[in-house]
Amino acid sequence: MNKMEIADKQVQVCFTNDKEGEVILQSKTNKSITKSFFFDSVYGPKASQKEIYTGTILPIVEEVLEGYNCTIFAYGQTGTGKTYTMEGPKEVDPKSIRTSTEAGIITRSINTIFERLSRCTDEYSVKVSHLEVYNEELCDLLNPDNKGLKIFEDTTTTVHNLTESNVENADAIFTILEKSWNERKTAETNLNKASSRSHCIFTVTIHIRETTPEGEELLKIGKLNLVDLAGSENVGKSGARLLAKTEAGMINKSLLTLGRVITALTEHSSHIPYRESKLTRLLQDSLGGRTKTCIIATITPASSGLDETLSTLDYAFRAKNIRNQPQVNKKVAKREVLREYTSEITDLRAQLEATRKKEGVYLPVEQYEKLMSTINERGLEIETYKDTVELKNKELDDAQEILAERGKILDKTKAELDEVTNNLNLKLEELKDYQEKLAQANKESQDKQIVILELRKNEETMHEQAKVVYENLNTAITDVDGLYKKIGRQEGLMSTHNQEVSNQRELLLRILGDLQNEVKNFVAKQSNSFINIIGKIENFASSKEKEFKNLEQMVVSIKNDLTSHIAKLDHISRDFVRGYMTTSDKITQFSNDSMQKMEQSTQSLLEINQGSAGALQQDIRSLQQNSRDWYQLNSTQISKNDDYVQQFVQSHNTQLSSTKKDLSDRLAGTLEGLNTHESHLRSYLKHQAILEEKLKEMVSDQLKTFTTQMNEMIKTACVERNNVLNNSLTSLLEEVKTTGNELTTVSSIIESNCNELECKIDQYGNYQKQMNVSFNEQLSQNNKSITTLTKKMEDQISLNVQQNVQHTLQLQNNISQDKEQYNQLSTNLTECTKNYFNSQSQYFKDYVDYNNRSISSVQQNQATVASSLGNTTTELRTDLKDAAKTVEEFLNSHSNASKKLTAKVDQFKLMPYTNTQTTPAKHPFTFPLQLSKTRSNTEIISTNVKTAPTAEDNQENSDMHILTPQPIKVLSQIPKISNPTVTTTSNTLNPPPAKKPLPKATKQNDPAPGPAPSALRDNLANKKYNANGKFINNKDRNKLGDLTNQIK
């Protein structure tokens, strides 16, 4: 997607599968609905120009060099990259783009052609042409002046007078392309800043000379058409207007014709509409002809162009079904080519001569005959049209006569209407002039009345201001004289006070010098005493640090011992499990061996007695069955016994592992507690160091408050240190006691487990005894049955009696031996279990004793630390008491000196100032600093425009004469002022001359330069004048008052 589509947050609805050549379209609303198209090659958004050229275009270019005509054209919606694919980026120069990775198909094809031709030993020539189809008009981009190009169709489609330039290398082609691309029509739309507005066909024709073995020279001709079609355009989306809209219509029309041609070709229609558009006429051989054609369909994956994308894919899919019949161009002999060139030169000379003589245009004979036949046909048609025109002219003459008569009547009526309209316009203009003059006169009269009222009010204001200024000046002169007298009295008193202050200053400096020397001596003494105290504190801290290190080493040793004990316990448990499993395996093996021996004995008995009678054989079988049942029962019991032993071992292992885990967790908790206490002790030492630094700072910064603060701080530090040590040691002891209790609990648990295990072993022994009893009972039953069988056998078979007796005795011996071995294994298992649990109980007893010894050693260390802490605290208290006494003596001596100094200061007294009650009191002078000034007539009128009565008021008051204003006479006179001079023009105040400068007057709010509009309206209302200078009645006066209130 391009930047515009990404900025509009478009959704991707088109996906590609490059390997399978598949394009998948997805619905906007339902993503599960898709449509697939399959093509020869598909390239995704990340495909480069090189991949497209190498995979698809390069084989076509090589076929051109083999003598084929090939066409490559790009089709798609505007803004999808057709021109970029064919020509490359527009902002890059065509010459410099040759080595660029963004070079288009045209650039890469030209490079490939000249690269292949440079390897060829034969002679070759290359011609290029550049044709533009704009609004169904043909334009020669290599010669813009060559207009009016026409298409001629003979065996092939050619453009008459189209410029073909011979080139020798790729640089010459790029120079031509640079000029022709600039001539192409482009315009800016909403979808593309440089949208192509025309179809462009760039043709490269290659002639290669070959020599046959017979020595005949032939020309191999190949042609490559590179077509850049203008994009199909939706005017609503592209925003095309005026000319661009017309261009879009012509583009869509030609592309629609191209689509119909493709549809007709795929449907094998009998009529192909090539001639409906010049584009399809030019591409006639490329669509269904003898040319190899490649269509590049460019689409956008954005959802905004889904309809156009679907149309483009459908168009390309239908074009895929067109079947061309490409053929190699026939190789032409050199003489035939020369003959064609000669005839072409002759035609060109005839055209040139006809042009020079201006006698006409040269045409071939066939074209001339066709033209003459067309002219004759057109002549007959013209004669027919002339007759028709004469009839129409007669009808038109009759209609014109009727129209002329009615026009005369209409002209007369229009003249009368114009005369009446002119008279009416003159009257309206006169009426308008009279209205304007009347309004102007009313306005001038109202303005004059407003100015007069403004002048009168300003005169009264200036008279009042002058009176106030005169009174304030007289008061100010009297006050200034009193102030000068007071200043003289204060100067004499100040000189006396200055002399007395200088004497007292010398005395105070002398006393302060003595006091400073005493302070220095006191500071030196206190510094020595504090150095001694700090040394003692440091010695105490170092000794305590050693003790804590010893305690830490002890904790580490306890930790190592616990680890070794846990390892021993794990080793003993594993040995016991291995021994127990070995014994169990022996029991199982013994049971299996016993069963095999019984089966072998029974089998031997059967072999000996095979020749016995039927009754004896039946008895033997029953005996054999009983023996098997007995062995199966025993094997079942043995397997159950084995399972019971395995379950017991597993439960014991689980219990041992849980006990081991619990013990390790508790030991880890104990070690964490010891580490925590160690961190607390370290933090205490740091805290003690911080306290020492604070003591040093306090010695240097606070001398006067030293005694009180030092006593409190040392007491607090001692108490805090004692509390920290006591809390740490107490918590440590509690932690050790807790560990001891936990170990005791563990040992009790282990003892209970041992007891339980012994009970289970006793149960197992009882079970073994029961098994032995049942085994003996079954053995006795078997002996009885064997004895009975022996008696029968002695009666029936005398020859085999001795052998059976021997086998029976051997079997009894084997059973007794197995019984003894089984009892021995059971005894060994019981003794092994007892030995294991005895060793375990003894181990835990030793471990508990070791913990008790560790606790007693820790308690002894605690007692040692507490005693040393008490001794150090006592020494510090003694030293601090001595320091406190020294400070107290120092304070007493300084308090006596300060008392003396206070007494002397109390004796010093200054002479008071005597009030004569003649100094004038402070009071404000309230007179204006800026006198009133009359505003200009324009300002007065513009300010009071809104106060003038409306036309409705003038109509209601019949006694108001607007056009006859009368002036207002000023009845009162302003009295003259003799002393001050007031000038309204400069707005300044000239006070009377004085010997001394006057004090500044208190500023009051400066008056406005003129009366406010609201005040002027109030004045009008009070004076009962209207805007024209006439008195108003009571009714109008009330209206004017209401209007004034609304304005306020």
Going by the annotation, the residues of the binding site for ATP are 76-83
Find all residues with CB under 8 Å of 86, minimum gap 6, and list them.
Answer: 72, 74, 104, 105, 106, 226, 228
Which residue's structure tokens are 């850049």?
228
Cβ contacts of residue 361 below 8 Å, gap of 6+? Answer: 351, 354, 355
Biggest distance spanned by C-alpha atoms of the chain? 189
DSSP 168: S
Q: Work out the number of other CB atoms within 10 angstroms of the CB of residue 835.
A: 12
Rounded to 5 degrees, φ, ψ at 956 are -70, -35
Listed in sequence order, the DSSP H helices in 81-214 are 82-87, 105-119, 170-183
Residue pointed to by tokens 């007179």? 927
| Nearest alpha carbon to residue 571 among 836, 832, 828 | 836
d(CA 1045, CA 1048) in angstroms, rounded, equals 5
- Report d(CA 980, CA 992) in Å as an integer: 7
**Main-chain phi, psi angles of 203, to 5 degrees:** -115, 130
Alpha helices in 77-232 (DSSP H): 82-87, 105-119, 170-183
| CA–CA–CA angle 39, 44, 45 (5° rounding) | 145
Return the closest-CA partner of residue 872 out of 709, 725, 731, 693: 725
Task: Please give the Cα distance from 195 to 230 (Å, whole number).
Answer: 8
Give the burial string for 941-951 (b: 16+ CB within 10 Å, else e).
bebbeebbbee
Bridge partners of residue 210, in order along the sequence: 218
Q: How far is 588 from 822, CA to CA, in rounded Å? A: 10
Place of tokens 């790029």: 174
Question: Which residues have C-beta within 8 Å of that of residue 999, sequence separation ≥ 6?
Answer: 476, 479, 480
CA distances from 448 to 346, 948, 953, 998 (A): 102, 12, 20, 44
Binding residues: 76-83
973: left (phi over 0), alpha (psi -120 to 50) or beta: beta
Residue 840 in contact with residue 747, Cβ under 8 Å?
no
